[in-house]
Chain A
Amino acid sequence: MSRIPEPTAVLGTLVLAAVLGLLGPDAGAAQQVPAERDDVRTYARAEAAAAHARIDSLLPLLEAARLGEAAEDSARAARAAARVAELDSVRVGPFALIGTKGRVAEAAPAFAAAYTRLRPLGQSVARTVAGRTFVLQRGLETDVLRTLQTRPRTIQVWTGFGDPERAAASAIGSAVASALPEEARGWLGGMPVAISLPTDQWRAIRWRLTLSAADAAERCYRGDPQACWAAMSPDGGAGWSRWYTPEQIRGMVSRTSDRFGAPPQELRRACLQDADAAACRRYLADSPPPPPLDEHARASLLAFALQRGGAGALDRLIAADGALPQRLAAAAGTGSPDRLILDWRAHVLEAEPRRAASPGGVLMLLVWIGVLATLAGRSTRWRLG
């Protein structure tokens, strides 16, 4: 293979050449700027022509550098393609996994288990993941990854860190989310479809629901289903203020500090001192507060509805008519969206954080105290020699 110069070096040389060419001896030998206007025009035209000529002379070099870079890319791609051929792949149900040998062997059972749990939700699950390839990214070089992404069949990139079962469920769930109607996809905010969530996530959602500063979340906590649906909406747009009472909005304004680019202080004064609700809203318009319940909470509601609905739940959601609450109720197999959201609320409130040590924990501590007492009791009496 012929030696191709590094494109960056070539381009740098070209830039330097262009600069030197424009500022070189020729430029030094340029005519003095004449005083008369006609002479200035003539001078400018001559200078422009000289510049064009130099650029035209540089074009072949530029072309050579581009070709060299393309050739370098091709060589890199060829090497990456060769390494791809060394990777391991396995078919799991209707989809495939590809990655390094160890990772594929480790991930295959997790993917199989995750798919088995999601498949009963409906045909849409199988349809969505059929023909996909999940790339187990960990341990792969960037070039190899890029090569895999250019393959004609759909590819889902998965990082492969952490708990394999959780990650597999997330990867498949993300793929399944693409089957959702657009409104539902937007509402879900990029979260994967799941049928169950770990306890610590329910606890986090409970924490958020309980402590949210929004009036909508507070009323949801107290059991108002309409407030729950309001708190679940992803984006208030200009209507974010409906989540909060005027007092809460004023409280938010009072907690903001003077910063660069802040709204005019007259608005802040009108809000805090004159209790002008409109001024408060305008003050926060550029940086409105986030929704009371985030995408994790919304994903948990979807998971709750799917689990409640059982077999075919996802298909029913997709096939249903109406707004999102009606779709979710259809998925759950209940006629009432309010009933669904209240049941979800009750489930969230059950996810209390761990308090005192569990009975098992207490027992283990007593065992350890016994062990330590035994060690202490066996302390030697031969201490004086």
Chain B
Amino acid sequence: MRNAIETRGLSYRAGSFELRDVELSVPAGSIYGFLGPNGAGKTTTIRLLLGMARPAGGAIRLLGHEVPAELPAALARIGYVPERPHVYGALTVAEAMRYHGAFWPDWDGAWADSLRRRFDLPADRRVSRLSKGETGKLLILLALGQRPELLVLDEPTDGLDPMVRRDVLTAVLDYVAETGATVFISSHLVHELERICDWVGVIDHGRLVAELPIDAFKSGVKRIRLAGAPPEPSDAPFTVLSRFDDGLATGETWVVRGWQDPMRQYFTGAGATVRDVVDLDLEEVFVELLRSSRHAVR
């Protein structure tokens, strides 16, 4: 199986929000970061993938299973951590683990219990009385205890302190290293995903703006400071994501994608000089990409 998650022409509409032609391809065994600002459609996409919302059109396959026709079979192999805790608050941690474990055929009770001790979760405390961090750990514990082939994590570390975030992500990475499972993790905390993801998908206003390996995502995007009169970018050998005056009346700053060093010729040929080429981090790339995408839409 090449892709753990595949969507073709996925679309959805609710009120004024619309998801249009989302084509996801999450390679099996990858850690796929699903990025987007608040309200972009990340949680909606995840709900569509897991059969909790009805798409207006398109096709979905999870681990080779058609959704929703083979949904129970797919869900039996998927560990899901939602944006908001979904476990029954009146149960204790131990009861929640027993309840959860009863529904998954591959539930590993012993391993789940070891995770509970590792996370330092009291077995007899009610879920509703756990702190935010403890609840986050419990949700990860329940998802991992199923021994899933695919983990779908919807903003799992949102609102958690750095130590808890580290514990959670470490547990996930350890599991992936051990089993080779696929992880589909959504977040707006770009810097956090930068460290763990090897694939990135960016969604904005219901449209998938980009989907590529993270190295290619980062490496091909540069900030170029120019001196002199800049050319028109219509015939440039790279993609201009944005350009703006540097405020010093000496030239412009361009953010481009697909840059390679020999492309300096393009500027010198037009009478401008490349003063500086700067690498961007993932967050900067993400922002520039969104800015460019919104400008293109306008």
Output the least CB separation between A137 and chain B (Å). Answer: 64
Residue in A381, A382, A385 whose Cβ sees the most chain B Cβ within 10 Å: A385
A53 contacts chain B at the CB level, 8 A cutoff: no
- Docked CA distance A384–B84 (Å): 14
**Chain A count of residues within 8 A CB distance of the other chain:** 5
Other-chain residue from A381, A382, A383, A385 in contact with B44 (beta carbon distance below 8 A)? A385
- Specify the main secondary structure of chain A where it touches its partner: loop
- Specify the main secondary structure of chain B where it touches its partner: loop
With a CB–CB cut-off of 8 A, which chain A residues contact B249?
Answer: none
B165 contacts chain A at the CB level, 8 A cutoff: no
Closest to A382 in B: B54
Q: Say whether B14 contacts A385, CB under 8 Å.
A: yes
- Docked CA distance A385–B11 (Å): 13
Q: Report the contact-size class of chain B (Cβ under 8 Å from the partner).
A: under 10
Q: Say whether A384 contacts B51, CB under 8 Å.
A: no
Closest to B51 in A: A381
B287 contacts chain A at the CB level, 8 A cutoff: no
Residue in B14, B44, B54, B68 whose Cβ sees the most chain A Cβ within 10 Å: B54
- Docked CA distance A368–B14 (Å): 36
B 35-53 to A, binary, CB cutoff 8 A, 1 in contact else 0? 0000000001001000111
With a CB–CB cut-off of 8 A, which chain A residues contact B53?
Answer: 382, 384-385
With a CB–CB cut-off of 8 A, which chain B residues contact A381?
Answer: 51-52, 68
- Docked CA distance A385–B48 (Å): 9
A 370-381 to B, binary, CB cutoff 8 A, 1 in contact else 0? 000000000001
With a CB–CB cut-off of 8 A, which chain A residues contact B47?
Answer: 384-385
- Docked CA distance A383–B12 (Å): 14
Residue in B12, B14, B47, B52 whose Cβ sees the most chain A Cβ within 10 Å: B52
With a CB–CB cut-off of 8 A, which chain A residues contact B52?
Answer: 381, 383-384
* B37-85 interface (Cβ within 8 A of A): 44, 47, 51-54, 68
With a CB–CB cut-off of 8 A, which chain B residues contact A384?
Answer: 47, 52-53
Q: Say whether B12 contacts A385, CB under 8 Å.
A: yes
A 107-132 to B, binary, CB cutoff 8 A, 1 in contact else 0? 00000000000000000000000000
Closest to B68 in A: A381
* B262-289 interface (Cβ within 8 A of A): none
Output the least CB separation between A385 and chain B (Å). Answer: 4
A 347-385 to B, binary, CB cutoff 8 A, 1 in contact else 0? 000000000000000000000000000000000011111
Output the least CB separation between B127 and chain A (Å). Answer: 21
- Docked CA distance A307–B117 (Å): 87
With a CB–CB cut-off of 8 A, which chain B residues contact A383?
Answer: 52
Output the least CB separation between B55 and chain A (Å). Answer: 10
Closest to B44 in A: A385
With a CB–CB cut-off of 8 A, which chain A residues contact B12?
Answer: 385
B 1-42 to A, binary, CB cutoff 8 A, 1 in contact else 0? 000000000001010000000000000000000000000000
With a CB–CB cut-off of 8 A, which chain A residues contact B51?
Answer: 381
- Docked CA distance A381–B54 (Å): 9
- Docked CA distance A385–B17 (Å): 11
Closest to B43 in A: A384
With a CB–CB cut-off of 8 A, which chain B residues contact A385?
Answer: 12, 14, 44, 47, 53-54
- Docked CA distance A381–B53 (Å): 8
Output the least CB separation between B68 and chain A (Å). Answer: 8
Output the least CB separation between B296 and chain A (Å). Answer: 28
Closest to B15 in A: A385
B 188-204 to A, binary, CB cutoff 8 A, 1 in contact else 0? 00000000000000000
- Docked CA distance A384–B45 (Å): 12
Given contacts A381-B52, A384-B53, 13 further A-B contacts (CB under 8 A): A381-B51, A381-B68, A382-B53, A382-B54, A383-B52, A384-B47, A384-B52, A385-B12, A385-B14, A385-B44, A385-B47, A385-B53, A385-B54
Residues of A bordering B, CB below 8 Å: 381-385
Residues of B bordering A, CB below 8 Å: 12, 14, 44, 47, 51-54, 68
What are 15 A-B interface contacts by the 8 Å CB criterion? Answer: A381-B51, A381-B52, A381-B68, A382-B53, A382-B54, A383-B52, A384-B47, A384-B52, A384-B53, A385-B12, A385-B14, A385-B44, A385-B47, A385-B53, A385-B54
